[in-house]
Chain A
């Protein structure tokens, strides 16, 4: 079974600075997808960024980018120019290729942004 591990329960960053959240996963598959989701205090989960395992290029969405290391099974999220609105719980998630596959989440990292 696939597992996802986030080893940082809490992180903090100063406004306008850069922070990196870590995620590792375990799988024997070669085709899969990785996601970062954000859960603000409102509890509404939203997708931040997605990475296809077959793509070597790291995904980027505005201030959010990933460092995907397939051999190391590592998938970190970098937030640049942090804003107060980035404060949230961040979850890393894994989904294997194929329809009807399960979506597996990590333990989450609580990010605090200090003004």
Chain B
């Protein structure tokens, strides 16, 4: 089974903290994605990566950065967490071909207080 693992299911951080959300996939997928999910807004793409060290901004990259030093790991970084970044964060991975299925992690519910 394909597995996409996010490091935490629930996380509480303070305003101004630097926050790392980690995602690891075990199927040698080329593409990895970070989304945030908010009620009524669906899944909004923050960043995605199509290869090691390669990244592209999604629709809402402000306040976030990413790192992909190894093919299996894609990290989302909140440089200085703010309360409006309280959300559900979902990581996904897929093969490089566009027709292929994306596999998702269980999500991280992040609360910034």
* Docked CA distance A93–B14 (Å): 33
Check A6 for interface membership: any CB of B closer than 8 A: yes
The answer, yes or no, to whether A64 is at the interface (CB within 8 Å) is: no
Interface string of B76-99 (1 = CB under 8 A from A): 000000000000101010101111
Give Cα A50–Cα B96 distance, bound, in whole angstroms.
16
A45 interface residue per 8 A CB criterion: yes
- Distance in angstroms from B111 CB to nearest chain A CB is 16
| Cβ distance A42 to chain B, nearest Cβ, rounded Å | 8
Q: Count of A-B contacts with CB under 8 A?
A: 68
List the A side residues contacting B96 at CB < 8 Å. 99-100
Residues facing A in B28-79 (CB within 8 A) are 30-31, 33, 35, 40-45, 48, 50-51, 54, 56, 58-59
Interface size on B, residues (CB 8 A): 30
How distant is the Cα of A70 from the Cα of B73 in the complex, in angstroms? 36
Does A97 have its Cβ within 8 Å of any Cβ on chain B? yes
A99 lies within 8 A of B42 (CB): no
Q: Shortest Cβ distance from B30 into chain A, in angstroms? A: 7
Whether A97 pairs with B101 at a CB distance below 8 angstroms is: no
Extra 7 A-B pairs, beta carbons < 8 Å, given A102-B56, A105-B45: A99-B97, A100-B50, A100-B96, A101-B98, A103-B94, A105-B35, A108-B42
